[in-house]
Amino acid sequence: MKKNFIIVLLGIGLIIYASTIIASRNTIYYYTTSETLEINISDSERIKLGGFVVEDSISKDGGFTIFTITDGNKDIEIIFDGFVPDLFQENMGVILDGTLNDDTFYADDMLVKHDNEYVSSDGETYNVENYSE
Amino acid sequence: MISSIGIVFSWISFSLLVILFFNKKKYYTEILVRINLFIQIFLFCLLEVGLFLNDFSVSYIANYSAKSTPPLYKFASLWGSLDGSILLWNLCLSLFMYLYLKLYKNTSSDLDIKIFSLIMIFFVGYTVFSSSPFAGCIELAAIGCSNSTILPFQELVTSSIGRGPNPLLQNHPLMAIHPPMLYVGYVGMTMPFVAATGRLYSKQGRSNDWVEVAEKTTYIPWLFLTIGITLGAAWSYEVLGWGGYWAWDPVENVSFIPWLLATAFLHSAKIQKSQNTLLNWNYILVGLMFLSTIFGTFITRSGVLISVHAFSNGNIGTYLLFGMLLFSLIFIVIGSKNIDYFSKSKKIDNWFGKSGFFVYNNIFLFSAALVVFIGTIFPLIYETLYDRQITIGRSYYDVIVGPLLLILLGLMIFSIKLPIKNLNFKKWTDENNNLINSSLILSVFILLYLNNSYVLVVTVAISVLLIVLTFKNFYKNFRGQKTNISYWTGQIAHLGIAIFSLGIILNVSQSYSTEKEINSFEEFSFNNQTYFVYDSIEESLPEKNVIKLPISNQSTTKFTSLNIFKNSSQQAISSPAVFRTFLNDIYITVKFIDENSYKLIVRNNYGIFIMWIGLFISSISFLPRLKKYEK
C-alpha cells in the first residue's frame, strides 16, 4: 500500500517535471505594447507582440487589416497582412508576429487568445484600464 | 415583471434547497426535489419567454439578445453568456438530482442527497447573491444595459434595442446545440461524485456498491461530453473558416480533461468490480472528474485566461475557487474516513493480464489529463511568478499527448481478448500472424508511397491492425457468444477510435494550403481539379449582410461566404465552401474581397470525413448501455 503510493507520487512528479520542462521549451513569449516601445529593436527583428484590440479601430485597406492594440497604457498601430481568424474582434486579446517600424507594427501572423465569453463594448468581463500592472 | 418573478423564484428555489439539506424526513425529500425541478424548469421557460418578448428591462436580455435576432438564436441566447448559462446549469443539475433520486438513491442514508443539495445550493446561490440572469436594468448604456440590480420590484429602465448575441454564436445552428451538450456532460459528473461520497460515508457503501452506481452514473455525462466535444470540433471546422478543428485552446482543454478522467474511470471501475482492486484509485478518479469540471468553469469564466491580473475583476472566480475548496474538503474527509476500507484493495497480480492492461490504460489516460492540465495552467503560473506573459505552442501537446494517445491505441489491440492470467505474447502473435504481417506490409507500402514520418507509419499500422482484428472478432464471436453488452460497447468504441486515428494522422501529416488571387468568372486549379469562381452575390437579412461567392468544380457548386452582422461593429465572419470526398476536403475561404477580385485560401484537408465517422461510431457505441440504466 505505502509502496504503491510512493510509486504513484513519483510517477506524477515525473510527469509534472517532464511536462514543465517541455512546456517551457515550447513557450511563446510576447511583449506588451509598453514594453515594445521601451526596448530597442532593429527594423528587421521579428518579435511577438500581445495586447487588446481597441474598439472602433479596425479598418480594411486592400488586403491589409489595420487596427490598434493596447495594454491599457500604450497603443500601437498594427498593419496586418495575413489570414484574420473569425474569432478576431474588438477588445479581444491577440498575439501578433512581425516587425516594428517607426512605431507601427507590421504583422503577418495572428494568434487569438480566445475565450467563449463575449466581451461587451463597455468592458463587462474585463476592463482594459484595470488590466495594466 | 419577468425580472421580479424570476428573482423571487430563484430565492424560493434557494430556500427549498436549504430546507432539503437540513430535512430528515424521507417523504419530504422527494417532494422538495420535485418542486425544485419544477421551479428550475419554470425559470428556464421564463427567461425564454422574456427573450422572445424582447423584454429589455431584464439586463441579460438587453445585453445578449436583440429584436432582430432570429428565433433559434434568441432561444440559444439563454446560454450565450455567463449568467444565463448558470440558469441552464442549474436546470441540468436539478434534472440529474431528480434522476439520481429515482434511480440511484442510497436506500440506507440521506447523505448523498444532502451532498447533492449542497452542490445545488452553491450554484443557485450564485444567481441569488451575485449576479442573476433576471437582474433588472437600472442604468442604460449606449446599446443595452450597463448597471443592474439583483433585487425584485425595483424601478427598471428599458432599453429600446438589444445588443444581440455575439456574432460568432449566431452564425450556425451547431453553436446552439454544442454548449448545452457540454453542460449536460459537465453537470452530470456531479452524479458519480455524489454516489461515491454519499455511499462511502455510510458503512453500507463499503462493498463495491458505490463503484457500480458511480460507473452507471458516468455513462450519461460521458456520452454527452463526447458528443459535445465532437460538435465543438465540427462547428470549429465546418463553420469557422480557419480550417482546423482543435487548437489546444484552454477552453477546449478543460472539456478534454474531464473526458480523459471519465474514460479512465469507466475502465478502472470494471476491474474493481471483477477483481476488487484499485478501490482508492477509483475514488480519487471520481473526485477529480467532478472537481475538474468546476476547475474548467473557473478557468473559462473567471477571466484568468485574459490575464492573471484580470482575475480580481470578476467575482465568479473567487466563488468557484471557494466551491472547489469546499468540495475537495468533503471529498478528502470522506476519503480519509475510509482508509481501512481502501487498504482492503487487492494487489494486482497479473501485470500482463486483464488487470494489468487496465492499469496501463489508466496510467496513460491519467497522464494525458495531467499533461493537458499542466499545459493549461502553465501560462498562468508563469505570469504569476515572473510577471511575463506567455502562451504555450501547440507543439507542447503534439510532443507529449500524441505519443500517449498512440500507446493507448496500441493497448486497445489487446483489449479484444484478454485473459485474467498473464497474456502469452508468443501465442498471441502466432494466432494473429497473418493480420499483423499484412498491416506491417501496408505500412511499409505507405512509407514508400507517401514518403512520410514514422509517426504516420506506426499510427497507420496500429489502427489498421486494430480495425481488422475488431472486424475479425465481430465476425467470429458476435453471434456465438452470449451478447455481453459491456464488452461489445467497448469494442465498438475502440473501433471508432481506430478509424478516428487514421483520419487524424492523415489530416496532420498530409494537409496543405495555398493562397489564390482571382477575379470573377475565372478558374484556378488545385490538386488536379479546376474550380470556377462566379460573381459574388449580396444578400441582406434582418440581422446580417451576407456576401456569397459561388465556386464550382465539375460536378457541384458550393458557397463560401462572409457574414457581416449589423448592430455589432465586429469584423466579418467567413464560412468555408467544402468540397468533400471520402479521403479529403477541398476547403475554400475568402480572405478578402475587392470589387470583382478575391483572395482565396484553398486548403486540402485529408482525413476529416474519416475522423467524423470514427467519432460518430465511438459516440453511438454507448447508446445500448443507457438501456441498462433502468436496472
Same domain for A80 and A22, yes or no, is no
Phi and psi for B116 in degrees, rounded to 5?
-60, -45
C-alpha cell belonging to residue B252: 477546449
pLDDT at residue B307 in the model: 58
Domain of residue A120 covers 33-128
Does the pLDDT at position B540 exceed 80?
Answer: yes
Higher pLDDT pick, B138 / B626: B138
A100 in a domain, yes or no?
A: yes
> With contact defined as beta carbons under 8 Å apart, do B306 and A72 qualify?
no
B43 in a domain, yes or no?
A: yes
Same domain for A74 and A121, yes or no, is yes
Higher pLDDT pick, B236 / B219: B219
Q: How many domains does chain A have?
A: 2
- The C-alpha cell 460536378 sits at B555
Characterize the bridge pairing of strands A104-112 and A93-101: antiparallel
pLDDT at residue B629 in the model: 45
Contacts of B167 in chain A (CB under 8 A): 89
Count of Cβ atoms closer than 10 Å to residue A115 Cβ: 21
Higher pLDDT pick, B176 / B293: B293
Same domain for B573 and B473, yes or no, is no
C-alpha cell belonging to residue B546: 451576407
The pLDDT > 70 percentage for chain B reads 93
> With contact defined as beta carbons under 8 Å apart, do B275 and B286 qualify?
no
Closest CA to B556 of B573, B575, B581: B581
Same domain for A61 and A99, yes or no, is yes
Same domain for B30 and B100, yes or no, is yes
B183 in a domain, yes or no?
A: no
* Cα–Cα distance measured from residue B207 to residue B273, given in angstroms and rounded to the nearest whole number: 10
Render pLDDT for A51-100 as a digit per residue (tens, 0 to 9). Answer: 888 888 888 777 788 888 887 778 888 998 877 776 677 777 788 888 88
> With contact defined as beta carbons under 8 Å apart, do B408 and B364 qualify?
yes
The half-sphere exposure of B23 on its side-chain side, counting CA atoms within 13 A, is: 23
B84 in a domain, yes or no?
A: yes
The half-sphere exposure of B114 on its side-chain side, counting CA atoms within 13 A, is: 15
Measured in angstroms, the CA of A30 and the nearest CA of chain B are apart by: 6
The mean pLDDT of B12-19, rounded to a whole number, is 96
pLDDT at residue B451 in the model: 61
pLDDT at residue A126 in the model: 34
Same domain for A11 and A74, yes or no, is no
B537 in a domain, yes or no?
A: yes
B278 in a domain, yes or no?
A: no
Same domain for A49 and A11, yes or no, is no
Same domain for A24 and A57, yes or no, is no
Does the pLDDT at position B484 exceed 80?
Answer: no
Domain final residue, candidates B163, B179, B203: B163
Higher pLDDT pick, B571 / B442: B442
Same domain for A41 and A13, yes or no, is no
Closest CA to B454 of B524, B497, B505: B505
pLDDT at residue B204 in the model: 61
A74 in a domain, yes or no?
A: yes
Among A103-112, B89-98, B192-201, B258-267, the minimum mean pLDDT is found in A103-112
Same domain for A56 and A11, yes or no, is no
Sorting pLDDT into bands at 50, 70 and 90, what band is B439? confident
Same domain for A61 and A41, yes or no, is yes
Q: Which of A4, A92, A117, A132 to mutate to test the interface with B (most CBs of B within 10 A)?
A: A117
The mean pLDDT of B354-374, rounded to a whole number, is 93
A133 in a domain, yes or no?
A: no
C-alpha cell belonging to residue A39: 526596448
Domain of residue B586 covers 512-609
Does the pLDDT at position B107 exceed 50?
Answer: yes
pLDDT at residue B593 in the model: 77
A103 in a domain, yes or no?
A: yes
The mean pLDDT of B366-394, rounded to a whole number, is 88
Same domain for B35 and B154, yes or no, is yes
Same domain for A37 and A71, yes or no, is yes
Measured in angstroms, the CA of B608 and the nearest CA of chain A are apart by: 20
Q: Which residues contact B322 (CB under 8 A, 6 or more apart)?
A: none
pLDDT at residue A124 in the model: 36
A58 has a chain B CB within 8 A of its CB? yes
> With contact defined as beta carbons under 8 Å apart, do B432 and B469 qualify?
yes
Does the pLDDT at position A2 exceed 80?
Answer: no
Contacts of B383 in chain A (CB under 8 A): none
Render pLDDT for A82-95 as a digit per residue (tens, 0 to 9). Answer: 777 766 777 777 88
Among B357-371, B403-417, B446-460, the minimum mean pLDDT is found in B446-460
Q: Scanning every residue of chain B, which has its alpha carbon at the shortest distance from the alpha carbon of A33?
A: B389
Contacts of B143 in chain A (CB under 8 A): 121
Residues 81-110, chain A, touching B (beta carbon < 8 A): 83-90, 93, 95
* Cα–Cα distance measured from residue B511 to residue B604, given in angstroms and rounded to the nearest whole number: 5
The mean pLDDT of B46-71, rounded to a whole number, is 90
Cα dihedral sign for B61, B65, B68, B74? negative
Same domain for B467 and B597, yes or no, is no
Q: Decide: helix, strand or coil at residue B277.
A: strand
Does the pLDDT at position B206 exceed 70?
Answer: no
Contacts of A51 in chain B (CB under 8 A): none
Measured in angstroms, the CA of B419 and the nearest CA of chain A are apart by: 24
Q: Decide: helix, strand or coil at residue B348.
A: coil
The mean pLDDT of B41-56, rounded to a whole number, is 94
A61 has a chain B CB within 8 A of its CB? no
The mean pLDDT of B202-214, rounded to a whole number, is 79
Does the pLDDT at position B394 exceed 90?
Answer: no
Contacts of B165 in chain A (CB under 8 A): 118
Same domain for A21 and A37, yes or no, is no
pLDDT at residue B31 in the model: 93
Q: Decide: helix, strand or coil at residue B580.
A: strand
Q: Decide: helix, strand or coil at residue B23.
A: coil
Does the pLDDT at position B312 exceed 80?
Answer: no
C-alpha cell belonging to residue B379: 501560462
Of B165, B242, B392, the CB nearest to A86: B242
> With contact defined as beta carbons under 8 Å apart, do A51 and A33 qualify?
yes
pLDDT at residue B259 in the model: 96
Measured in angstroms, the CA of A71 and the nearest CA of chain B are apart by: 11
Same domain for B42 and B146, yes or no, is yes
Does the pLDDT at position B464 exceed 80?
Answer: yes
Higher pLDDT pick, B425 / B626: B425
Same domain for B599 and B549, yes or no, is yes
Which H or E run includes B80?
none
* Cα–Cα distance measured from residue B436 to residue B439, given in angstroms and rounded to the nearest whole number: 5
Q: How many domains does chain B have?
A: 3
> With contact defined as beta carbons under 8 Å apart, do A74 and A101 qualify?
no
Measured in angstroms, the CA of A78 and the nearest CA of chain B are apart by: 15
Residues 2-41, chain A, touching B (beta carbon < 8 A): 11-12, 15-16, 18-20, 22-24, 26-30, 32
Does the pLDDT at position B306 exceed 70?
Answer: no
B299 in a domain, yes or no?
A: no
Q: Which of A12, A14, A26 to mutate to test the interface with B (most CBs of B within 10 A)?
A: A26
Residue type, A27: T
Of A27, A83, A84, the CB nearest to B392: A27
B158 in a domain, yes or no?
A: yes
Of A83, A89, A122, the CB nearest to B591: A83
Residue type, B311: F
The half-sphere exposure of A24 on its side-chain side, counting CA atoms within 13 A, is: 10
Q: Which residues contact B255 (CB under 8 A, 6 or more apart)?
A: B182, B185, B186, B225, B228, B229, B232, B296
Render pLDDT for B548-601 as a digit per residue (tens, 0 to 9). Answer: 889 998 888 998 888 777 655 455 677 889 999 998 999 998 877 777 788 888
Hey, which of B214-218, B474-478, B526-530, B562-566 has the most confident mean pLDDT? Answer: B214-218
B277 in a domain, yes or no?
A: no
Higher pLDDT pick, B328 / B449: B328
Higher pLDDT pick, B301 / B2: B2
Q: Scanning every residue of chain A, which has its alpha carbon at the shortest distance from the alpha carbon of B249?
A: A114
Sorting pLDDT into bands at 50, 70 and 90, what band is B347? confident
Count of Cβ atoms closer than 10 Å to residue B550 Cβ: 16
Same domain for B20 and B117, yes or no, is yes
Does the pLDDT at position B313 exceed 70?
Answer: no
* Cα–Cα distance measured from residue B442 to residue B113, given in angstroms and rounded to the nearest whole number: 55
Same domain for B12 and B120, yes or no, is yes
pLDDT at residue A72 in the model: 74
* Cα–Cα distance measured from residue A106 to residue B110, given in angstroms and rounded to the nearest whole number: 64
A82 in a domain, yes or no?
A: yes
Q: Decide: helix, strand or coil at residue A105.
A: strand
Degrees, nearest 5: CA angle B624-B216-B422: 85
CA-to-CA separations, B261 to A53, B228, B286, in angstroms, rounded: 37, 16, 8
Same domain for B478 and B565, yes or no, is no
pLDDT at residue B566 in the model: 66
Phi and psi for B505 in degrees, rounded to 5?
-70, -35
Same domain for A40 and A82, yes or no, is yes
Terminal CA-CA length for chain A: 49
- The C-alpha cell 470525413 sits at B609
Closest CA to B148 of A122, A56, A92: A122
Sorting pLDDT into bands at 50, 70 and 90, what band is B438? confident
Residues forming a β-bridge with B587: B578, B603
Whether B242 and A85 lie within 8 Å, measured CB to CB: yes
Does the pLDDT at position B418 exceed 80?
Answer: no
Higher pLDDT pick, B144 / B329: B329
CA-to-CA separations, B11 to A83, B7, B29, B61, B152, in angstroms, rounded: 49, 6, 19, 20, 10
Residue type, B41: I
Does the pLDDT at position A132 exceed 50?
Answer: no
Q: Which residues of B394-412 are buried (b: 16+ CB within 10 A; e: fewer)?
A: bebbebbbbebbbbbbbbb
* Cα–Cα distance measured from residue B15 to residue B343, given in angstroms and rounded to the nearest whole number: 41
Does the pLDDT at position B109 exceed 90?
Answer: no
Among B75-84, B233-242, B321-330, B356-365, the minimum mean pLDDT is found in B233-242
What is chain B's mean pLDDT, rounded? 86
